[in-house]
Amino acid sequence: MREEPYIFEMSSYIRLGVNIDHVATLRNARGGVHPDPFTVAVACVKAGADGITIHLREDRRHIRDADAERICAEIAAPINLEMAATEEITAIACRLKPHGVCIVPERRAEITTEGGLDVVGGQAALAPLIARLNAAGIVVSLFVDPEPAQLRAAVAVGAAVVELHTGAYANGRPGELERLTAAAALTGEIGLECHAGHGLTYANVTPIAALPEVRELNIGHYLMGEALLVGLPETIRIMKGLMAEARK
């Protein structure tokens, strides 16, 4: 078994990473500086977020280089940088040294990350890139569909973590919770740390947070929408409460 990346934590605790990409989307809609993703990241951490997730896309449609620079340098919580497996973003990650990266597939026309990464098909390209990130001291996660072959390939390419794609579950696809349950169990057997995310809400988070192998959830869109109604601190407090309740 590989050493746990987050050995200092109790295994029953489940972390909440708050994805703040949509704050940048809102700022960019007017081309100005408000709302500022950095300021919102500070507020999320103050409200109890265990980490901040940002996606520096190749097209820079939301988070920009200056946001990533400042957030990685100045936020006092682990930063999870979502990225495509490209030379450009790998070089940026190795320079900014976030706590972790999550490698995702990226297609320019998509609205959000649509499917999991094809680790099986992309092993040859992924392995050297992950080796570079690992050598820079960055914990590497791969965003994958809950398929055993993808998880085994994640081990083969040197990733320490997988983030299971919960989008199909969130969309109500039959059998998806069972697939996620089996995939989470497999991560424990093959020495991967298990995260999960995409499309999670107050209404659907409990069964995913209850999976004992899942150590972290990354949630963005729903939290930002709720925050418009009741504010960020209250939104994060409720989501963290649901997650903690699910672990009991």
Residue 75: name the closest of 60, 53, 56 by CA: 53
Chain residues in the site for ligand PXP (CB under 6 A): 19, 21, 55, 82, 102, 104, 112-113, 143, 163, 197-200, 218-222
Pick the closer one to ligand PXP by CB: 188 or 199: 199
In whole angstroms, how close is the CB of 82 to ligand PXP at the nearest point?
5
**Choice between 82 and 176, CB closer to ligand PXP:** 82
Out of 147, 195, 198, 226, pick the active-site residue: 198
Q: Is 221 a catalytic residue?
A: no
198 among known catalytic residues:
yes
Decide if 55 is catalytic.
yes
The least distance separating ligand PXP from the CB of residue 86, rounded to whole angstroms, comes to 15
Using DSSP's 3-state secondary structure scheme, residue 100 falls into strand
DSSP-derived letter for residue 184 is: H
Structure-derived torsion over alpha carbons of residues 55, 61, 85, 111, reported in degrees to the nearest 10: 90
Q: How far is the CB of 141 from ligand PXP (least distance, A)?
A: 8
What's the rounded Cα separation, in Å, for the pair 154 and 177?
Answer: 21
Q: What's the min distance (Å) between Cβ of 220 and ligand PXP? A: 3
Q: Cα separation of 68 and 26, whole Å?
A: 16
Q: Single out the catalytic residue among 22, 55, 99, 195.
A: 55
Sequence-separated contacts (24+) of 67-75 with Cβ below 8 Å: 67/24, 67/37, 67/38, 68/92, 68/96, 69/96, 70/38, 71/37, 71/38, 71/41, 72/96, 72/97, 72/98, 74/38, 75/38, 75/41, 75/42, 75/45
Q: Which is nearer to ligand PXP, 44 or 104 (CB)?
A: 104
Smaller CB distance to ligand PXP: residue 15 or 198? Answer: 198
Query: Would you name the residues annotated as active-site residues?
Result: 55, 82, 198
